[in-house]
Amino acid sequence: MAFWPSVVVATPAHSGVGATLTYRSELSLAPGTLVRVPLGAREVLGVVWECPTEAPEGLSEAQTRAVASVLEGLPPLNARWRQLVRFAAQYYQRSLGEVALAALPPQLRDLSTVQLARRLKKQQVARAGGASAPADAPGQHAPALSEEQHAALTALEAATAPVLLYGATGSGKTEVYLQATEHALQSQADAQALVMVPEINLTPQLEARFRERFEPLFGAGALVCLHSGMTPAQRLAGWLAAHTGQARIVLGTRMAVLASLPGLRLIVVDEEHDPSYKSQEGARYSARDLAVYRAKVESEALAAAATTTAPARCRVVLGSATPSLESWHAAEQGRYLRLSMPARIGGGALPRLRVVDMNHQPKGALLAPPLVAAMAERIARGEQCMVLLNRRGYAPVLACHDCGWKSACPHCSAYRVFHKLDRTLRCHHCGFTERVPRACPECGNLDIAPVGRGTEQLEEQLAGLLADVQRPDGGPARVARMDADSTRLKGSLEVQLATMHSGEVDVLVGTQMIAKGHDFRRITLVAGINADSGLFASDYRAPERLFALLMQAGGRAGRDAAFVTRQGSESELWVQTWTPQHPLFDALRRHDFPAFAAQQLAERESAGMPPFGHQALLRADARTQQAAQAYLNAAAQAADGLPHRNDITLYPAVPLTIQRVANVERAQLLVEAASRGALQRFLNAWQPVLLACRSLPEARGLVRFAVDVDPLAI
């Protein structure tokens, strides 16, 4: 008897290859089985989607090729996983194969059946070794919860809707995640939990806390990580452990949302407002939104299979001190259950806001004198400070004041940033790097000068301004910098975090990287020094981002209430601005996120912006800007007469803010609809048109196009 499995293989999003390819097999293959199949002259990894006993109509045996091999020893990917992948592909307008194969560890593609069997065996041996019966009684390590934490945990475990855990910085959200995870894992022997964080490498403390708590309870292999910083071998091992159920907890970044977790009972999305949950390439999915969908699919399957009246569920918790307006709105509407934890653990106060009006400061000052004085006082008392400037390098531009030359990137419509430490001009968009020229390349003037400021310059200036300040031990004040440049070398981030924790460093200067999640115990002052750049960006989400960043940065101050009291100190958040009257600062002063969210949501509603309206971008990359825009406009014209065309608005094509990157011209076209359903129906109808438009004469020079559904920036 012959079978005709339809198999999903990695195909580029718009390759025109159908969703699945039909093969032949002597065996019946369960849907979700991993196989190797011939494709052209190659043999590729594929996932069996269905396995009918009859050939699809019009397809003869001669027209199909046989499945080359089956990856033995691996259980099939289950129906819930396949449903998640199908949904993600359809919603984000990508091919099924692209999403499905991207969700598998890359190394799985290259392994032969024999190599895989060896890998699985190795893992089983490790399991047998690691699974020595846990010595400790469950829950032994868990600290007592505050009343607020306890109430949140209880409500979370009774919830049937997605939970928005709205907790102030320092309110102890992590402990709630830990105990919810423990309860979920103890509910059933094969239960699993997925815990997602924006950037795992930035917060090694979190991973350590999870390991410390759960390895004694569930064995050494109970927790695996999944993120893009791992080697291919580590990723494969982590994925296999999750897929076979050996790992009970997966701690990962956005990619982990698509991991195979057959026993999934809890999903945590920490810092759910963080933009890094939205992928910016390939299938541009939102891991937060997929997490909510995934929990629903898992819960429905559990309910369908249940024999009791109170079936198990898969819960999803979105946590933040400054939730995304999308999630906040969902909670206002009652679609999400909002649980609040306003108090900080240890009773510490949130930092007091000090707004510095830069109109009244000495001209050209990077740091206002009162801010420098406040920092000096704190350093002298043995407290630490943190200064945030969201621009790395020494200066964003190098310029000649004689002829007007500027350090433009030859490949991008952007300036190259001046890095003083290694005397380079670096393009932060394409990476093009050159030595700083001795003289102006245009006119030979020797006096070329930096314009504007970055973190390197801030570090240099602060070291100068604080040169005479003494620490309590008599030593000079020490300033350190932490950004993508200073942490490029492996291990350097850990070293820098350690010097901050140990108190060797008095002032930490850096980009938003320093605002994220760190639990520095002795910081009492945090300063944001170019807040305005966020307020006047054209992006409508800019105020939301700035508010979240400042709240989060401020949250690094005064985390140890006992320390602050002992010091007789008070924690403060300083903000330098040219527009101190902006309403955002009022809400920030009162730590009043609900008021800020209400005001922003009212603005969005009157403008029909998300979450009240729904958007997608059609983006085009081409060799000329003209071709990029011509393609987009042709695609818009060709949409006339399509079903659901009248439910949406198509805007004219426009260049991106940075229109050329690495010699590719970029343009986009905005699609708007009043409802998510209308937008989806139109995009589905439009997809074949977008493919067809590639071959129009005016689109000659088009490199690629992509649809971005629910874009974060327009």
Shortest separation between residue 403's beta carbon and Zn ion, angstroms: 3
Q: Is the CB of 449 or the CB of 562 nearer to Zn ion?
A: 449
In angstroms, rounded to a whole number, what is the distance separating the alpha carbons of residues 515 and 513? 6
Residue with tokens 């300063």: 527
Stretch that binds Zn ion, among 196-204, 217-225, 282-290, 434-442 (CB under 5 A): 434-442
Shortest separation between residue 398's beta carbon and Zn ion, angstroms: 11
x-or-dash string of contact with Zn ion, 353-392, rule CB under 5 A: ----------------------------------------
CA atoms within 13 A on the CB side of 702: 26
Stretch that binds Zn ion, among 28-36, 296-304, 408-416, 543-551 (CB under 5 A): 408-416
Residue 615 DSSP SS3: strand
| Alpha-helical runs (H) found in 92-203 | 96-102, 107-110, 113-130, 147-158, 173-186
DSSP for 436-498, written as a single string: PPSS-TTT--S-EEEES--HHHHHHHHHHHTTT-B-TTSPBP-EEEESTTTT-STTHHHHHHH
Q: Is the CB of 16 or the CB of 444 nearer to Zn ion?
A: 444
7 DSSP β-pair partners: 21, 48
Shortest separation between residue 447's beta carbon and Zn ion, angstroms: 9
Q: Is the CB of 108 or the CB of 667 nearer to Zn ion?
A: 667
Stretch that binds Zn ion, among 58-66, 444-452, 594-602, 685-693 (CB under 5 A): 444-452
Residues 683-712 touching Zn ion, rule: CB under 5 A, are none
Stretch that binds Zn ion, among 50-58, 125-133, 422-430, 449-457 (CB under 5 A): 422-430
Amino acid symbol at 455: T
Radius of gyration, CA atoms only, the chain: 27
Q: Is the CB of 37 or the CB of 661 nearer to Zn ion?
A: 661
Instruction: Give the residue, chosen from 55, 113, 300, 405, that forms a contact with Zn ion under the rule CB under 5 A.
Output: 405
Q: Is the CB of 32 or the CB of 441 nearer to Zn ion?
A: 441
Stretch that binds Zn ion, among 23-31, 236-244, 409-417, 510-518 (CB under 5 A): 409-417
x-or-dash string of contact with Zn ion, 612-651, rule CB under 5 A: ----------------------------------------
Is residue 244 within the footprint of Zn ion (CB under 5 A)?
A: no
Instruction: Give the residue, chosen from 184, 368, 398, 409, that forms a contact with Zn ion under the rule CB under 5 A.
Output: 409
Instruction: Give the residue, chosen from 398, 412, 628, 679, that forms a contact with Zn ion under the rule CB under 5 A.
Output: 412
Structure tokens at 163: 């939970």
Is residue 413 within the footprint of Zn ion (CB under 5 A)?
A: no
Is residue 22 within the footprint of Zn ion (CB under 5 A)?
A: no
x-or-dash string of contact with Zn ion, 66-105, rule CB under 5 A: ----------------------------------------
Is residue 250 within the footprint of Zn ion (CB under 5 A)?
A: no
Q: Is the CB of 361 or the CB of 413 nearer to Zn ion?
A: 413
Distances (CA, A) of 377 to 374, 384, 569: 5, 10, 10
In angstroms, rounded to a whole number, what is the distance separating the alpha carbons of residues 559 and 346? 8
x-or-dash string of contact with Zn ion, 385-404, rule CB under 5 A: ---------------x-xx-
Structure tokens at 633: 């406009």
In degrees and rounded to multiples of 5, residue 285 shows phi and psi of -90, 155
Q: Is the CB of 87 or the CB of 432 nearer to Zn ion?
A: 432
In angstroms, rounded to a whole number, what is the distance separating the alpha carbons of residues 272 and 290? 12
Shortest separation between residue 281's beta carbon and Zn ion, angstroms: 17
Is residue 449 within the footprint of Zn ion (CB under 5 A)?
A: no
Shortest separation between residue 406's beta carbon and Zn ion, angstroms: 10
Instruction: Give the residue, chosen from 243, 248, 338, 429, that forms a contact with Zn ion under the rule CB under 5 A.
Output: 429
Q: Is the CB of 389 or the CB of 440 nearer to Zn ion?
A: 440
Size of the site for Zn ion (CB under 5 A): 15
In angstroms, rounded to a whole number, what is the distance separating the alpha carbons of residues 599 and 586? 12
In angstroms, rounded to a whole number, what is the distance separating the alpha carbons of residues 516 and 394? 22
Stretch that binds Zn ion, among 49-57, 246-254, 407-415, 598-606 (CB under 5 A): 407-415
The angle that helices 79-91 and 676-693 make with each other, rounded to 10 degrees, is 70
| Alpha-helical runs (H) found in 52-132 | 79-91, 96-102, 107-110, 113-130
For residue 89, give every residue at least 6 positions away whose Cβ sits within 8 Å of its Cβ, in sequence order, or none: 95, 96, 98, 99, 100, 283
Residue 476, preceding peptide bond in cis (omega within 30° of 0)? no
Shortest separation between residue 284's beta carbon and Zn ion, angstroms: 22
8 A C-beta contact, residue 349 and residue 554: no
Shortest separation between residue 561's beta carbon and Zn ion, angstroms: 47
CB crowding 516-539: b at 16 or more within 10 Å, else e? bbbbbebbbbbbbbbbbebeeeee
For residue 683, give every residue at least 6 positions away whose Cβ sits within 8 Å of its Cβ, in sequence order, or none: 93, 616, 671, 707, 709
Is residue 432 within the footprint of Zn ion (CB under 5 A)?
A: yes
Count of all residues that appear for the chain in the document: 714
Shortest separation between residue 481's beta carbon and Zn ion, angstroms: 23
Q: Is the CB of 304 or the CB of 446 nearer to Zn ion?
A: 446
Instruction: Give the residue, chosen from 258, 389, 440, 632, that forms a contact with Zn ion under the rule CB under 5 A.
Output: 440
Is residue 427 within the footprint of Zn ion (CB under 5 A)?
A: yes
Residues that bind Zn ion in the complex, under the rule CB under 5 A: 400, 402-403, 405, 409, 411-412, 427, 429-430, 432, 440, 442-443, 445
